Structure 1
Amino acid sequence: MNLKKIFNFAIVALVTITMSSNSIVFAKDNNAKVVSDWQFDSSYVQEGTSFEQNNLILKDASGNGNDLIVNTERVESGKSASDYMEFVDDSIDGESESLLMSPKGTSGNDKKIGAFFQTVENAPITHETFDEGYTFEFIIKLNDDISGWSSIFGKRGIAKQNGLTGGEPEVNGGLNVSSSGELQWNFYTNNPEIKNNPTTWSDAGGIQRNKFHHIVVKNDSNVTTMIVDGIVVLRCNTTQNQRGLADLGLGWVVGTAYWSDAEIFDEKTCGDSIFKGQIQEIRLSSGLVAPDDYLVTEHIVDDAYNISGNNNETNFLETKKNYNFAIIPDPQYTTQYKPAILDAQNEWIAENANDYNIAMTLGVGDITQDGTEAEFKRASESYSIFDEKNIPYLLTDGNHDSNIYLKYFGAQRYENNPAYQGAGPSGYSKYAITKGGSYNYLFLTIPYNSEQIEQDREWINNILTTYDNLPTVIITHFDDNNKNITNDFVKKHDQVFMFIEGHVTYRDAKIITNDYGHPVLNAIVNYQFEPYGGNGIIRLMQFDELNKEISFQSYSPWVQKKMDILDNKIENEDILNDDEKKLFPFDKLNITQDPSDNITFEFDFTERFKNLDKVEPINRENLDEEINLSNNYDLSQYQDGNEKDNFINALSNAKNIQKDLDEQDSLLTQEIVDQVCKTLKEARLSLIPITNKTALKIAVDLANAITDEDLANVVPAVVEEFKAARDEANAVYNNVSATQDEVNVAFDRLASAMQKLEFYAGDKKALKAFIDDVTGLDATKYTQATWTQFNDALTVANGVYEDVNAMQPEVNTVYSELVTAFLNLRLIPDKSLLEELINQAEGLNVANYTKASFDGLTKALNEAK
């Protein structure tokens, strides 16, 4: 017995002496309390008990009296517990022992035969429910051959006998081990609203065999988290309020599971698989234990234990001549449990699509785990970043996706995507076309379901026949003998050079040969069975036409976020929790866990695609000409504002495209170049020159100071023109976008109108009086010549009188001409008429006429007499 064992045993003895059986020891952080601590080491065996005697008692190292006693009810007749379990000198730190449990077998009835532990009668922990939360720790090791669906720890009994009917009432609940080595925590809770046993799972691939693992199960009286070797597992149940653990009334067990439909509990009837492997320690604490106070605070991970993620440098091809297709492996667990991982993948693709020339993003199916509306909604929100940024993408369905798939990822979702072309009759098959390098590539998704394949078969073959001139990639969730996608579609159409799948537990990348003897690259990409559900890894397929290579690179934006947090490069926003920050073994991250994760294939594009169409060279003349023209613009001569900003941005963007053309950017198209050129030209023509409004300002100020009273005697037409010119001048002056020509025109019009403001309306009183006096003359009494002249003068005089815009000179002129014409009238010879005329003249009122005009009349009158 080593010194550590002696020291531990002494502490147990001391605690047992000084504390009652109900006393509780505080954990180091003073926030959690150790309820029981079972260290499976012979130093804790109660004296006088043993496996051979079938009565071994393991003392509770916490001193709380929650001892364990071996249960041999399922031990074969003639054998003892020692035939099924023993203490071995093997532990996580190499300094203590562990319990090796070996049931009779690992399948059938044999896996139920053996010995295990249960709490002693009346142990204080018997009815403990941990309603305020808990931290349970386990140090265990699995063998190569696992006793499937056994239990490491749990309640004794079955939930059904305690009145629980939802979920799986046949079980007891606890920490279980699946046949593939997954860990499952599935206790019934004390929340009456939950009718089932909420489950938290470790990673789908199971924990590593023949290695000690430190497992922590934590509950804050609401949600449950499982941590394996410092890694918080992905599939934690965070959707249900998991308060406390239901009390089955029969205490606790270590090393066995229960499963039965029996109404009354019986060990032999209800007992199920016994754990096969090693248990070093189980410590149960109420409350939350801090990572610094875990049983294991530093994980020594051997070289065989690689974690998919980022460690060594990823060799991205960043030259513009190269291009990438991105693959998002089955995201079912991330959608269900941690959508932030899928967000990180999609955000990285969206943010780096330009830098890495990502021409297309593909999904291989199983977008969801249970095909629920909630999962599809979460996935839809995550992929929406591609819709917002017009990034080409296409997602096929998987066996975990229900028909809700069509609601969120049917044809309607892709209608505005630049690459999308159409869908088959079922709505599941879809195709898209996008440019990469020298070619336009066609991407075709084929459904997982055989019935949908048959529904779309004719459509699929028609697409492949119609576009047999385009290099084609087929994507499906997984092919098998029932569907024959490989034989029916991939191999029969020579332009299909790549076939991508997901679904299965393994990954692969290989070359298959089609019916024409040509190579087809077949990639199976799925990381969901790796730690943390694949740890957010994406696969980039990098195309290098110049070097005749297609290479695969695996990269995790999610892990990169974690590493950036640890390096204080970004804020920690619900990504790393305290356990991971303290315990995560980042030194064991590795992106080459499988040979196919990072692999390069020789691929002669020219030879393989020799019968296929190449993209026409891009005509860049218009763009180059527009950039040269725009470069000569002196922006200091143009107004600041949106127009100038738009021009600067458009010119910058055009120059970037020009640079990409120089570098033979593999994703550029004629449409992109033409649109950039058009945008730059429109922005250039929208520039607003800086204008000189000094003179206009002076004129406007003068015009605005003129009142209606000032205009009272001005000719109305002049007033009307002045006001219109003044309004226009004000509008032009206040318009920041006004051109110099507009300013000049407005100034000239206002100046002209203001110069006419001295055009006053004439005084028409004398004119009116004279018109009234002569209007009644009888034309028959005068000679025709003199009357015609008079009548014309009278008509003109009336017109001027009616003209509101007539000014004084014009009034004076027509008055004088009318008087002259009147005086020139000549009567047809008749003295009586002369007398009448003399009488009429003598009757005129001198006050109504000017002196000069009346003097002329007086002279003529005298002569007539």
Structure 2
Amino acid sequence: MKRLTSLLIALLVTFSLQPFSLSAFSSNYRSPAPAGAWTLAVLPDTQGYTDGFPDVFTCQTRWIAANRDARNIKFVLQAGDITNRNTHPQWLAARHSMDVLFKAKVPFVLVPGNHDIGVWGSSKKVPNYKRDTLMNGYFLSADYKYSVKRGYFEPHHMENTYQTFNTPWGDFLVLALEFFPRNAVIDWANTIVEKFPDHKVILLTHAYLYHDDSRYDRATDKAVKRVAPVTGYETNKHPDGSNDGEDMWKKLVSKHPNFLFVISGHVLGDGTGYLVSKGEHGNDVHQMMVNYQPGIVPDRGYGGAGFLRLLEFQPDGKTIKVASYSPFFDQWLEDADQQYTITLRESIAVK
């Protein structure tokens, strides 16, 4: 009854007080993107929506589809914990919301989080240390057909994929890797990056950065508190192991000169994190964690209140405006960790 009441309230708010917003940015620098700019949209942990507020999720994807041209949205990243319980109804809800993007021909990618694995989404109790998920019954390789190129670690499996897309800043490669990826997945990812040396690379994975702006690292004293893979999840006992944030940095991200971003979710606390690290070739890698789900301080309700993260890449090839927006409430977050500007050392735009 409590869940039903919450859902009814959400529906009333959605269709009466807060209709789906089809407008572009509404204040400050949030006017339509200037000529030559483009946008990357991030949908962090959607588990609260598929578990109780599916219309808020659909509100997000409708806004993205409606603002694709005004914001020049080139790609959409979903950062894992797509569902809360890895159940058929929740995957069906996710499929319904993401179908809005598919039908609008907006390229997107999803990665599984810990709540998308195991019986009732309990990755801490995965039988036989497997990574069982219902994801592959609801999302298929054809869903990624709007990217320029795409590939898969395993045929007919969506847990580990790559896609490429074109932007005014040049060509981009997105590596979308499973929750604390196995060693073979990391090896595969390295071979993919090597195949695209002229692409800027984005790693998308569910758990990588913590809200104190440091990477997950099983070697630190704080590992237990962070529910690191070595302490908190049975997936670590997989015969091929698992890799936390520090492992991914050392084995994958830092090794390639064309890595530009790492984007993740998963973490509570204040739900944000940001770290710039220099790779082995001297390149700056911008690592970002963003999450709005219930439990984040402050808890905004409605499964996360419909907030999404927008990265607007400016025409100068070196400035990226970061913003957090909820089309559900038509509200922007003004805090310093929710709205800021990243300036690269030099322009990387196509001349």
Deviation of 1:409 after TM superposition, in Å, equals 2.5
Matches within 5 A, 1:633-652: none
> Which residue among 590, 598, 602 is the counterpart of 2:343?
602
| Preserved contact between residue 366 and residue 400 of structure 1 (Cα < 8 Å) | yes
> Could you report, residue by residue, the CA deviation over 1:486-533 in whole angstroms, capped at 9, with x for unpaired residues?
221111111011110101012022312212232111110101133123
Residue in 2 that maps onto 1:508: 273
Residue 77 of structure 2 is aligned to residue 362 of structure 1: yes
- In 1, Cα distance between equivalents of 2:6 and 2:107: 37
Residue in 1 that maps onto 2:288: 523
Deviation of 1:475 after TM superposition, in Å, equals 0.4
Deviation of 1:457 after TM superposition, in Å, equals 2.7
Residue in 2 that maps onto 1:460: 189
- In 2, Cα distance between equivalents of 1:449 and 1:492: 18
CA spacing shift, 1:324–1:225, aligned 2, 3 Å: closer
What SS does the corresponding residue of 1:333 show, helix, strand or coil? helix
Matches within 5 A, 1:716-735: none
- In 1, Cα distance between equivalents of 2:35 and 2:184: 41
- In 2, Cα distance between equivalents of 1:388 and 1:499: 27
CA spacing shift, 1:314–1:557, aligned 2, 3 Å: farther
Residue in 2 that maps onto 1:487: 250
> Which residue among 311, 315, 327 is the counterpart of 2:42?
327
| Preserved contact between residue 386 and residue 393 of structure 1 (Cα < 8 Å) | yes
| Preserved contact between residue 199 and residue 258 of structure 2 (Cα < 8 Å) | yes
- In 1, Cα distance between equivalents of 2:319 and 2:66: 25
Deviation of 1:540 after TM superposition, in Å, equals 0.7
- In 1, Cα distance between equivalents of 2:282 and 2:147: 34
> Which residue among 588, 592, 600 is the counterpart of 2:334?
592
Deviation of 1:224 after TM superposition, in Å, equals 3.9
Residue 146 of structure 2 is aligned to residue 404 of structure 1: no
- In 2, Cα distance between equivalents of 1:539 and 1:523: 11
| Preserved contact between residue 273 and residue 288 of structure 2 (Cα < 8 Å) | yes
Matches within 5 A, 1:42-191: none
Deviation of 1:315 after TM superposition, in Å, equals 2.3
CA spacing shift, 1:226–1:412, aligned 2, 3 Å: closer
> Which residue among 143, 150, 159 is the counterpart of 1:421?
150
What SS does the corresponding residue of 1:448 show, helix, strand or coil? coil
CA spacing shift, 1:546–1:369, aligned 2, 3 Å: same
CA spacing shift, 1:321–1:487, aligned 2, 3 Å: same
Deviation of 1:311 after TM superposition, in Å, equals 9.3
> Could you report, residue by residue, the CA deviation over 1:54-85 in whole angstroms, capped at 9, with x for unpaired residues?
xxxxxxxxxxxxxxxxxxxxxxxxxxxxxxxx
Residue in 1 that maps onto 2:304: 534
Deviation of 1:485 after TM superposition, in Å, equals 1.5
| Preserved contact between residue 180 and residue 207 of structure 2 (Cα < 8 Å) | no
Higher RCO (C-alpha 8 Å, min separation 6):
2
Matches within 5 A, 1:466-481: 466-479=195-208, 480-481=216-217
CA spacing shift, 1:538–1:373, aligned 2, 3 Å: same
> Could you report, residue by residue, the CA deviation over 1:699-726 in whole angstroms, capped at 9, with x for unpaired residues?
xxxxxxxxxxxxxxxxxxxxxxxxxxxx
Deviation of 1:548 after TM superposition, in Å, equals 2.6
Deviation of 1:534 after TM superposition, in Å, equals 2.1
Deviation of 1:313 after TM superposition, in Å, equals 4.4
What SS does the corresponding residue of 1:350 show, helix, strand or coil? helix
> Which residue among 171, 182, 200 is the counterpart of 1:440?
171
CA spacing shift, 1:340–1:419, aligned 2, 3 Å: farther
Matches within 5 A, 1:17-56: none
Aligned residues: 280
- In 1, Cα distance between equivalents of 2:63 and 2:305: 14
What SS does the corresponding residue of 1:444 show, helix, strand or coil? strand
Deviation of 1:449 after TM superposition, in Å, equals 4.1
CA spacing shift, 1:336–1:410, aligned 2, 3 Å: same
What SS does the corresponding residue of 2:116 show, helix, strand or coil? coil
| Preserved contact between residue 46 and residue 83 of structure 2 (Cα < 8 Å) | yes
- In 2, Cα distance between equivalents of 1:400 and 1:361: 20
Structure 2 counterpart of 1:591, which letter?
L
> Could you report, residue by residue, the CA deviation over 1:391-443 in whole angstroms, capped at 9, with x for unpaired residues?
111111111113101222243432x3234511112641111111110401111
What SS does the corresponding residue of 1:534 show, helix, strand or coil? coil
| Preserved contact between residue 395 and residue 409 of structure 1 (Cα < 8 Å) | no
Q: Which has the higher helix share?
A: 1
- In 1, Cα distance between equivalents of 2:92 and 2:29: 32
CA spacing shift, 1:488–1:318, aligned 2, 3 Å: same
What SS does the corresponding residue of 2:71 show, helix, strand or coil? coil
Q: List structure 1 segments (4+ residues) > 3 angstroms apart after TM superposition.
A: 223-227, 310-314
- Structure 2: stretches of 5+ with no match in the other structure: 12-24, 118-132, 209-215, 218-228, 230-242
CA spacing shift, 1:321–1:224, aligned 2, 3 Å: closer
User: When the two structures are superposed, what TM-score results if normalisation uses the length of structure 1?
Assistant: 0.31
What SS does the corresponding residue of 1:355 show, helix, strand or coil? helix
Q: Which moved more, 1:485-494 or 1:466-475?
A: 485-494
| Preserved contact between residue 545 and residue 604 of structure 1 (Cα < 8 Å) | no
- In 2, Cα distance between equivalents of 1:397 and 1:499: 16
Deviation of 1:446 after TM superposition, in Å, equals 1.0
What SS does the corresponding residue of 2:329 show, helix, strand or coil? helix
Residue 342 of structure 2 is aligned to residue 552 of structure 1: no
Structure 2 counterpart of 1:422, which letter?
G
What SS does the corresponding residue of 1:319 show, helix, strand or coil? coil
Residue 108 of structure 2 is aligned to residue 393 of structure 1: yes
Identity of aligned residues (%): 24
What SS does the corresponding residue of 2:74 show, helix, strand or coil? strand
- In 1, Cα distance between equivalents of 2:291 and 2:161: 21
Structure 1 counterpart of 2:189, which letter?
I
- Compute the RMSD of aligned alpha carbons: 2.6
| Preserved contact between residue 309 and residue 324 of structure 2 (Cα < 8 Å) | yes
Residue in 2 that maps onto 1:379: 94
- In 1, Cα distance between equivalents of 2:89 and 2:7: 23
What SS does the corresponding residue of 1:374 show, helix, strand or coil? helix
- In 2, Cα distance between equivalents of 1:447 and 1:511: 22
- Structure 1: stretches of 5+ with no match in the other structure: 1-197, 201-222, 235-309, 561-588, 618-865
| Preserved contact between residue 315 and residue 553 of structure 1 (Cα < 8 Å) | no
CA spacing shift, 1:378–1:516, aligned 2, 3 Å: same
Matches within 5 A, 1:692-707: none
Residue in 2 that maps onto 1:841: none
- In 2, Cα distance between equivalents of 1:406 and 1:357: 30
> Could you report, residue by residue, the CA deviation over 1:338-368 in whole angstroms, capped at 9, with x for unpaired residues?
1111111001111111111111111000110
CA spacing shift, 1:225–1:457, aligned 2, 3 Å: closer
Pick the structure with greater CA Rg: 1
